[in-house]
Amino acid sequence: MKSLNWVLLGLVLCTSSAAFANVELAKAKNCLACHSVDKKIVGPAFKDVAKKYAGDASAEAKLIAKVIKGGSGNWGAAAMPPNSQVSEADVKVLVKWVLSQK
């Protein structure tokens, strides 16, 4: 029983530190200059992005391309500048994290 508790504690710590790492990555890559998880800044709230694309299986690939190249039109007139300094692997992690917001 005691060891089960340690396993559960480990799981809780792992999942929360993964979420924390993603926020740190978003901060380090400057995404949070224009976005926040739950309110619109220059760009849409990441929760709203997740809601808009819920159930769209092709969203992940589309959004990875959009974040790297930038663009406008899906949320209004403001454009996202290209984030071509961010590696595709990092963009993938970030887009998966954005789409997992609730």
Given the rule CB under 6 A, which of 3-11, 12-20, 27-35 is the region that contacts ligand HEC? Answer: 27-35
Longest dimension (CA), the chain: 57
Least distance (Å) between residue 1 CB and ligand HEC: 42
Contact flag: residue 37 with ligand HEC (CB under 6 A): no
Nearer to ligand HEC, 55 or 73 (CB): 73
Question: Residue 94: left (phi > 0), alpha (psi -120 to 50), or beta?
Answer: alpha
Q: Which residue has the tokens 């790492």?
A: 21
Contact flag: residue 92 with ligand HEC (CB under 6 A): no
In 3D, which of 48, 43, 51 has the Cα closest to residue 67? 43
Contact flag: residue 100 with ligand HEC (CB under 6 A): no
Nearer to ligand HEC, 8 or 74 (CB): 74
